[in-house]
Structure 1
Amino acid sequence: MELNQECYNSQDPNDPFFSDKIIINEETEILMEESEDELIETVEPLKLLYGICMKCGQRRSYYRWCISCERKQSEENFKNWTSGNNDIDEFIKHSQFYSSGPQTFLEWIPFNRLENIKYLSKASRSTVYSAIWKDGPRILWNHQNQEYKRSKTQVLVKLYHEDQVNEILNELKIYLDCYAQDYALLIQFYGISQHPDHKAYLLIKKYAQNDSLHNYILHNFKSLDWEIKLHLLLYLAEGLKALHNSGYVHRNLNPPNVLVFENGLCAIGSYSKCRKDLSSLNAEEIFGWQRYMAPEFLRYKPYTKASDIYSFGMIMYTVGTGMIPYNKSHDDQYLTLDVCLGLRPKIPVNIPESFSELVIRCWNDEPESRPNIHEIHNTLMNWWSSIYNKCLNSTCLEFLAANDRDHIPYKKGLSGKHLQKCPEN
């Protein structure tokens, strides 16, 4: 399915998908000599142009980011820090040496640079806190002071046990692989720290002001129109597309594992269960929130990208209806059998028909009959751009009409239950 180019023609610079503008150097920097047409031909379509580094004369890979200068500066700084763990040191050094922008530049963050640490939640193998990083990530290079501008930043801190170094590095590797493959919206990881007393390692990443998608829907659903709902799902699809393009499957996709930021964008919050080699599966690997699991996963069959699509369809249901799947009367003890026998949530009649049809396709019992993430992403893009650009076509009118149908009764059959406190993952 192709993008609807007729509707997707916004020239609004505030449009989050508007990427036709070209960023060049500031007036004090060296300007490229080629014409604009020649410059555009030197970069991939829809990629931004970042100009020339005034220090070394090389083309930048990101705004105020020169790979050549960054490598030199990072190497000079390697002797000034250590985590005390050789594997972590080498991983961080590798990320800095090959980083193409600030999103992939990881740091060793001394624990004393974190303050106001507050408990948020606990999962099976980690504990999550919020904290203030006194220094904050590197933002822009200050030519006058010859240093990076930084700003105090609130961060998420995920605490692991001392023996979980491989889990931390695996999650960071997946993040870097995905970012290199696809410039999608991914939650930014800043680096690693360590508690000085019990030696537990801390994974530091971007803070989500609106908490998880589960809690965001729980507290804000009545104020969400379909433009916002599709916007959330579109960005989630961006992240899942990056994972699938990199050869990974997520395996634990559900609303608590999706984070929502202050600007309404959302991203997959954890990659700890992502894997590539899924040729075998045993009972110990069944985990997560059962109501979002694909039936083949519950049958102990290998997990595939199509299994993620099933979970994505369940998230679409939650975002569209404000409910978690299945009726309260369905005990999880019996739900596995019912789902494997074909049970699916009943979709309310006030949900746009085209949206319902896509959700149902994601729930198909045959994995090969489900749409792939590229089709889902393009479909969501068409729907969202039609509303955003006020294209009064049938799709746009369908979703706008649904905004006015908040209290239509459900079709006869099994409905969902409203969101409540979710189980630990």
Structure 2
Amino acid sequence: MSSPRASFVHIQFDDILFYENCGGGSFGSVYRARWISQDKEVAVKKLLKIENEAEILSVLSHRNIIQFYGAIVEAPNYGIVTEYASGGSLYDYLSSDESEEMDMGQIMSWAAEIAKEAPVKVIHRDLKSRNVVLGADKVLKICDFGASKFLSHTTHMSLVGTFPWMAPEVIQSLPVSETCDTFSYGVVLWEMLTCEIPFKGLEGLQVAWLVVEKNERLTIPSCCPESFAELMRKCWTAEPKERPMFKQILCTLESMAKDSQLPEQCNSFLHNKAEWRCEIEATLERLKKLERDLSTKEQELKERERRLKMWERKLVEQSNTPLLPTLDIYTWTEEHVYFWMQHLFGAGDGTCDMQLYANLFKENHITGKRLLLLTETDMKDMGVKSKGHAEIEKLTNDYLGFLHFPPLLKDELEKEVEQSKTVNLELVFGYHWKAGTGKSDCKWKMYMELDGDEVAVTYIKDVIFNANRPGVEVLRMAKPPFLMDKWIVGLEQNQKIDYTNDVKSPKSTRHSCVLVWTHSGGQDEIKNVELVIETTPVTADPRDRTNCSKLLLLKDIFKEILLF
């Protein structure tokens, strides 16, 4: 229906004498004040701008709606002027000791006053105990129409209101009807019966998630009179069309008033609060635990996402890292020298100087050949001034000594040179998951990530993804990132990892993963692998073993230098 034509009194700002702040509405603060020219105590709600609240109040005239006197329309001092309710809000009353005197008659009277309809249909959309005030004669009056709209068949609105009182469709900013206020009415009725705060201790967004996603509602104590319990349950139905209209609620209240046994049941319920309050507290604890579990799950997902991003960066870096082609230092390029200094030592020993020197050597185009020819003077000229790092000259002499005078005692050399070394790494298996509606349309992508020694990725020859399904080809990848490039529809998969030929054990590792359909997907699986690496061929001649010894000695001497 179209909104009625509105007209209201324009009140001058200078005609208002402000007193203390007595609360706040959805869109402004409320002050007790005096309308000077009329010598009348009033309530003034200060606003940033005049919108539809003055228009709505100007056409509402009802005993249970706050009386509207006019509006201040002088920029920037906008405001709504209404009658002043000296009894305060229903929320404050229910929190006071005075509420202990309430009986069924008071609750029934107030429940009817809130439900009584005005001549003009309006969706309040922010009905709650804070927006219901007590007049001097304890008559309830609804106020704060800042979130309201004139009723059409359905009205689309943005998110405005207070979550514990809000209907699911209001929380989701869906089109609403009069029954969104019915939902809120049920919460106010619950407040009057229990004198408790709805969803006490829970944050607004937590309440929104519980009401919409988990279909949670306020706890109705088991000893609550059934007629009241049934009315609240109907008001809280998730489907708006199934909730009663206010006209039906008034009929229900009239029928309840004729029940001769209800007053005794209700008063017994009100006076035995200690017996049923624990039920409400138990529900609150359960909901808080549910929220904590959700927060924990959220943190776990964030941590998993962080780890995945870290692995992606690491794999990209590793895929761009040049590998040393030979043990013969004399043939190294400047990229090999840079890689050797940066990764083989800097990352392993945590020495920041080596990173600086790696960059310095690269800027000066130091190859393996030039590295062996560097003198102490050359290094000082480049900026390498530390006595410890200047020992590279000694390293060069040691290398040349091994090159020109290989050891003659074969057995003793073989004892000194390690025939193998161990590399530890973790293979992280997982899959990206789109749940769909079930097994028939779910989608997944497998991936394998690597954690362990910095050079571990150099020992992986390839990774094979085999979905074991007709029409899905076996995917072989020789370098990271190891991730399926296409989404697969189906639910069983195997991965096989083959390593380079210089791995003694294991030659390959196979991991099988059975996918089970869930909404959230599966967890990563981690497999620890220990590789035994051959540092020299079994049939190598003395010169080959000498080259291997030179590299090992080069690494050991460099480590000693770093610790100097």
Contact kept, 8 Å, 1:110 with 1:193, in 2: the verdict is: yes
Q: Secondary structure at the match of 2:123?
A: coil
Q: Deviations over 1:80-139 (max 9, x none)?
A: xxxxxxxxxxx8xx74xxxxxxxxxx5333444433522223456322111122343xxx
- Change in 2 beyond 3 A, CA 1:201/1:319: same
State the 1:203 CA deviation. Answer: 1.4
Contact kept, 8 Å, 2:66 with 2:142, in 1: the verdict is: yes
**Residue 395 (structure 1) aligned to one of 262, 268, 276:** 262
Aligned to 1:175: 57
* 2:17 is equivalent to residue 130 of structure 1: no
Aligned to 1:193: 72
CA RMSD of aligned residues (A): 2.8
Aligned to 1:223: 101
Q: Secondary structure at the match of 2:275?
A: coil
Contact kept, 8 Å, 1:130 with 1:207, in 2: the verdict is: yes
State the 1:201 CA deviation. Answer: 2.2
Q: Distance in 1 between matches of 2:225 and 2:155?
A: 39
- Change in 2 beyond 3 A, CA 1:353/1:124: closer
**Residue 321 (structure 1) aligned to one of 194, 203, 209:** 194
State the 1:395 CA deviation. Answer: 3.0
- Change in 2 beyond 3 A, CA 1:200/1:111: closer
Contact kept, 8 Å, 1:323 with 1:416, in 2: the verdict is: no
Contact kept, 8 Å, 1:350 with 1:405, in 2: the verdict is: no
Q: Distance in 1 between matches of 2:124 and 2:95?
A: 24
Figure out how many residues of one structure are paired with residues of the other and give that number. Answer: 277
Q: Distance in 1 between matches of 2:107 and 2:279?
A: 25
Contact kept, 8 Å, 1:108 with 1:191, in 2: the verdict is: yes
* 2:132 is equivalent to residue 258 of structure 1: yes
Q: Distance in 1 between matches of 2:101 and 2:18?
A: 32
Contact kept, 8 Å, 2:46 with 2:80, in 1: the verdict is: yes
Q: Percent identity?
A: 24
Aligned to 1:408: 275
* 2:168 is equivalent to residue 335 of structure 1: no
* 2:5 is equivalent to residue 121 of structure 1: no
- Change in 2 beyond 3 A, CA 1:134/1:377: same
State the 1:355 CA deviation. Answer: 0.8
Contact kept, 8 Å, 2:93 with 2:99, in 1: the verdict is: yes
Instruction: Please tell me the residue identity of whatever aligns with 1:310.
Output: F
Q: Secondary structure at the match of 1:365?
A: coil
Contact kept, 8 Å, 1:310 with 1:362, in 2: the verdict is: yes
Instruction: Please tell me the residue identity of whatever aligns with 2:275.
Output: I
Q: Secondary structure at the match of 1:407?
A: helix
Pick the structure with more helix per residue: 2
Aligned to 1:7: none
Q: Distance in 1 between matches of 2:30 and 2:199?
A: 29
- Change in 2 beyond 3 A, CA 1:289/1:175: same
* 2:32 is equivalent to residue 153 of structure 1: no
- Change in 2 beyond 3 A, CA 1:412/1:320: closer
Q: Secondary structure at the match of 2:161?
A: coil
State the 1:412 CA deviation. Answer: 4.8
Runs (5+) with no aligned partner, structure 2: 286-564
Aligned to 1:149: none
**Residue 240 (structure 2) aligned to one of 367, 379, 384:** 367
**Residue 286 (structure 1) aligned to one of 130, 137, 159:** 159
Task: Output the TM-score relative to the length of structure 2.
Answer: 0.45
Task: Output the TM-score relative to the length of structure 1.
Answer: 0.58
Q: Deviations over 1:220-264 (max 9, x none)?
A: 3222222222222221112xx22xx63321111111121121211
Instruction: Please tell me the residue identity of whatever aligns with 2:188.
Output: I
Q: Distance in 2 between matches of 1:227 and 1:114?
A: 39
State the 1:267 CA deviation. Answer: 1.4
Q: Distance in 1 between matches of 2:224 and 2:99?
A: 14
Q: Secondary structure at the match of 1:324?
A: coil
Contact kept, 8 Å, 2:133 with 2:143, in 1: the verdict is: yes
Q: Distance in 1 between matches of 2:36 and 2:191?
A: 37
Aligned to 1:344: 217
Pick the structure with more strand per residue: 2
